[in-house]
C-alpha cells in the first residue's frame, strides 16, 4: 500500500550533536578556567584594593565575567539540543554549508565595521567640535578621559554592533530595536565607565 506524499516524506534531519557538544564543552572550559587556570595564571583576584584603599576590579575580574556570560549561553545550547529531540520545530543542525559560511562572513564584516566606528567616532567628534569652534583640542588623546568624548566611540560602535546582529537574526530592524541597542550600550557604559574604577572603555586604552 502506497501512502500519501506526506506520509512518504522523511522527517527533516536534525542530526548532529553540535549544540550538545558545544554547550558541554563550553561548560567544561568555564569550569576548568575558573577553578584551575585563572587561580594559577592570574596574579590578583576578582577584586583588589588600590593604593588609595579603594576596591577596584582585579586581574581576574573580566576573565571571570566572561566565563559567567558564557555559562548561560552554553546551558541554552544544551537545552536546545534536548528540546529539539522532543519533537519541537527548529532548523536542522549538523551540516555546515554555504549559508553558514556566509553568516560567518557577515558577522566578521559587522564586527569589523563596529570596531572601526568605535575607533573613529571619538577623533571625528573632536574634529567636528574643533571645526564648529566649540573646542580647540590638539587631538582625541587630550580628551580621551573626558565625557562625552571618552564614551562616544563605545556608544556608537556598540549600538551599531547590536543593531547589526538584531538585523542578522530577525532580517529586519525597527526603531524600537535601535532604542533597545542604544539603551543596552548606555547601560554597559554606566557599569564599566561610571560604577567601576580604573576601567577604560575601548578604544581609550590605545590613545
At 93 the pLDDT is 58
* 86 and 114 fall within a common domain: no
Kindly write down the DSSP assignment for every residue of 170-185, as one continuous string: HS---HHHHHHHHHHH
Domains contained in the chain, number: 2
Is the pTM value of this prediction over 0.85?
Answer: no
* 102 and 187 fall within a common domain: yes
* 90 and 19 fall within a common domain: yes
* 89 and 101 fall within a common domain: no
User: What is the span of the domain harbouring residue 29?
Assistant: 1-95
The rounded distance, in Å, linking the Cα atoms of 46 and 42 is 10
Which three three-digit cell numbers place residue 122?
571619538
* 86 and 123 fall within a common domain: no
At 42 the pLDDT is 84
* 55 and 103 fall within a common domain: no
End residue of a domain, out of 35, 64, 95 = 95
Say which residues have a Cβ less than 8 Å from residue 94's Cβ, sequence separation at least 6: 13, 14, 15, 16, 17, 18
At 11 the pLDDT is 46
The rounded distance, in Å, linking the Cα atoms of 26 and 32 is 10
Q: How many Å separate Cα 170 from the centre of its chain?
A: 17
At 82 the pLDDT is 81
Query: Where does the chain show beta strands of DSSP type E?
Result: 47-49, 55-57
Say which residues have a Cβ less than 8 Å from residue 96's Cβ, sequence separation at least 6: none
* 206 and 116 fall within a common domain: yes
Per-residue pLDDT of the chain (207 residues; tens, 9 = 90+): 455 544 444 444 444 577 888 999 999 999 999 999 988 888 777 877 777 777 778 888 888 989 999 999 999 989 888 876 555 545 555 567 788 888 889 999 999 999 999 999 999 999 999 999 998 898 898 888 888 999 999 999 999 999 999 999 888 999 999 999 999 999 999 988 888 777 788 888 766
The rounded distance, in Å, linking the Cα atoms of 63 and 174 is 34
* 117 and 196 fall within a common domain: yes
Which three three-digit cell numbers place residue 140?
582625541
Amino acid at each position: 500500500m502506497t501512502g500519501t506524499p506526506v506520509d512518504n516524506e522523511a522527517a527533516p534531519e536534525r542530526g548532529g550533536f553540535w549544540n550538545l557538544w558545544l554547550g558541554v564543552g563550553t561548560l567544561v572550559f568555564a569550569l576548568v578556567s575558573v577553578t584551575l587556570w585563572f587561580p594559577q595564571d592570574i596574579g590578583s583576584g576578582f577584586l583588589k584594593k588600590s593604593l588609595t584603599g579603594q576596591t577596584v576590579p582585579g586581574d581576574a575580574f573580566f576573565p571571570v565575567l566572561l566565563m559567567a556570560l558564557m555559562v548561560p549561553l552554553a546551558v541554552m545550547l544544551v537545552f536546545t539540543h534536548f528540546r529539539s529531540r522532543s519533537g519541537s520545530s527548529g532548523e536542522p543542525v549538523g551540516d555546515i554549508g554555504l549559508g553558514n559560511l556566509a553568516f560567518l562572513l557577515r558577522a566578521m564584516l559587522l564586527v569589523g565595521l563596529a570596531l572601526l566606528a568605535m575607533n573613529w567616532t571619538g577623533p571625528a567628534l573632536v574634529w567636528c567640535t574643533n571645526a564648529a569652534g566649540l573646542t580647540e583640542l590638539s587631538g582625541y588623546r587630550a580628551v580621551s578621559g573626558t565625557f562625552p568624548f571618552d564614551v562616544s566611540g563605545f556608544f556608537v560602535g556598540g549600538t551599531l554592533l547590536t543593531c547589526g546582529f538584531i538585523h542578522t537574526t530577525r532580517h529586519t530592524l525597527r526603531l524600537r530595536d535601535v532604542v533597545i541597542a542604544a539603551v543596552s550600550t548606555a547601560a554597559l557604559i554606566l557599569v564599566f565607565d561610571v560604577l567601576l574604577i580604573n576601567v577604560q572603555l575601548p578604544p581609550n586604552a590605545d590613545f
